[in-house]
A = this chain, B = another copy of it.
Amino acid sequence: MSEASSTPSYTRNDRTTPTRSKERAAWDKAAVHAILDAGYLCHLGFVRDGAPVVLPTLYARVGDRLYVHGSTGSRPLRGARDEQGLPVCVTVTHLDGLVLAKSAFHHSVNYRSVVAHGTAYQVTDPEELRSALDAIVEQVVPGRSADCRPGNAKELAATAVIRLELDQVSAKTRTGGVNDEEEDLDLPYWAGVLPVAPAYGNPLPSPHTAVELPGYLKELTC
């Protein structure tokens, strides 16, 4: 084995290996972290009464750990509060482009996604909870957590965050252009990629804002 193979990597096993398009999968931490760090919206999956539930919420990555905000529903947190924790799947997806092929069959999308499996636990330590909430605010808008009033004890008590150690994790990515069949290449259709990405619009200040737009927000909107 070469030295390169010692690159830190998450666990590669049946659970973290996609059954389709395996060549698009990756387990190295750098690839996984880059995708997680590029976003802040995740979809949190858990099982309730034997059936799957998927809810959108916010997260932050801190090292090899995800903190996931529980405000979308207290249901998942009931399980995470217990000692045995709550089995979850946290998925983060960035859509990067529409791949429009000459044939309907080869239409696709470019994307980067991470799927993290594991058992989540509710954060109960007040200091960990405070830093987890700061991390979630920072993940959404870097620079923001130091530019607002910090949470007080009552607010922290009213907030739920779950912790997931990153271990059973994989990334999946599609990049590049169209993969058309050779015999379709001359068909008279437009083919190619339409890039797509989230874009921020003009900030809408509240009536109680008397200060200039801070630099960290200008950066997002320029």
Which chain A residues have a beta carbon within 8 Å of chain B's beta carbons?
Answer: 18-21, 41, 43-47, 50-56, 58, 71-75, 87-91, 93, 95, 98, 100-105, 107, 109, 111, 113, 115, 117, 133-134, 137, 140-141, 144-145, 147-152, 155, 158-159, 177-178, 180, 184-206, 208-214, 217, 220-221
Contact = CB atoms under 8 A, between A and B. Distances in A.
Given A100-B141, A205-B192, A211-B188, A20 B107 contact: no
Contacts of A44: 54
Nearest to A77: B19
B75 A107 contact: no
B145 A104 contact: yes
B193 A56 contact: no
Contacts of A41: 93, 95, 109
B52 A20 contact: no
A102 to B, nearest CB: 6
Contact of A95 (B184, B194, B198): B198
Contacts of A117: 51, 53
Contacts of A155: 103-105
